[in-house]
Every structure is written in C-alpha cells, then in structure tokens.
Amino acid sequence: MPHLNSFYQDYRKLLRLYNDGAIFTAFDTETTGLSPSDNRILEIGAIKFNKDGIIDNWNQLFNPQCLIPQFITNLTNISQEMVTSCLTIDNYLNDFISFTDNTVLIGHNAQFDLNFIYEECLRTNCKYFSNKVIDTLRMSRWAYPTLGHWKLNYLAEKMNINPGNMHRALDDAITCKEVFLHILDDTKSIQK
C-alpha cells in the first residue's frame, strides 16, 4: 500500500517557501532490499534545516530481524554485525516521526523511502506522518531536463557536492539537502 503524503508539483514556488522560513527535513533510508512489504529498513538518516542553516540531524541503525543480503552490505557497508546489537525500528519510529513534525520532507526518489516507512508504521502500529514532500529526483528532472541522468551520486558529482559515504542514510540525506539548495539557486530566475 502506498504512502499518503502529497508531493509539491509546482517547483517554481519553492524558493518563496524557503525564503519565508519553512523548515525542511531531508531524509533517506537504507533497506535490506527493494520491496517494502518483503524487506526492512536498516537505517534512517535525516537533516532538519531552514534558510538560516542546519537545525538538527537524526540518524539510527536498526536490527532488521533478518539477514542482510551481501549485495546490500557491499552497497551500504552496513553489515550484519553492525546491526545485531541494535534495537528494532519500532523502538525509534515514533521518535523519527516526531523529528519531522511541522517540516517539509525532502527525499531523492522519495516514493521509495516513504513506502518503506509507511510499511514499517503499519507493522508497528506507529502513526504515519502526513508531511508535504519534495522529491529531488522529480525536481532535478524539471530543472535539468537534458541531463539524462538524475541519480543522487551523479547530481552530486555534477554539482561539485561532496556526497560523503554514498548509500549511508545521513550522508545521502545531507547530499539530498545540498542538491535541493543547488536546484533552488539554479532556478532563481524562474521562481515565483
């Protein structure tokens, strides 16, 4: 079942939203696979910010209560040993949801992450959030239609953004934030 959030569609109004002092939370998840119903979240990372800078960050590894496939360990550098002693996501999900209160969520391919969080909320009887969402994947396709590639690491390289440890949730959330700010700056002339 898909998440219930609404996405910003008119990217030309985002600079005004930003300049008016809105608070944003860029976030990312790392998971044991691609299916929200069959796989689990390993890590959530988030960075809360506004026009004045970073407000706070949130990062947590979780025990998925299943084996982490080797290709996921190779991609994320999150090993079974790293999460064995961690608590499960149900111990932290309410805290993460509270962290995002009254903020606009920003994710790269946000549908993927939101579907995973939604499934975890269903499994754990946690109240799901209803924040509005900006998807930097969609936004980058709008801003740079001829680019041809819009993956987060590709955008970071093109924008000279240091991506930190790619495929780690907090670093990807920070990169997502920087991509968002870069697009806002690049599209100032067409912002309403």
Q: Which residues are catalytic?
A: 167
Where b means 16+ CB within 10 Å and e means fewer, 42-69 reads bbbbbbbbbeeeeeebbbbbbbbeeebe
Cβ-based burial of 31 (10 A; exposed 0-12, middle 13-18, buried ≥19): buried
Tokens, residue 96? 């993460």
* Closest to 108 measured CA to CA, from 43, 59, 165, 177: 177
Q: Report helix, strand and coil shares of the chain as percent, to nearest 5.
A: 45, 20, 40
Q: Residue 125 in contact with residue 13, Cβ under 8 Å?
A: no
List of residues 6+ apart from 19 with CB closer than 8 A: 51
List of residues 6+ apart from 72 with CB closer than 8 A: 30, 31, 32, 33, 42, 78
Three-state SS at 27: strand
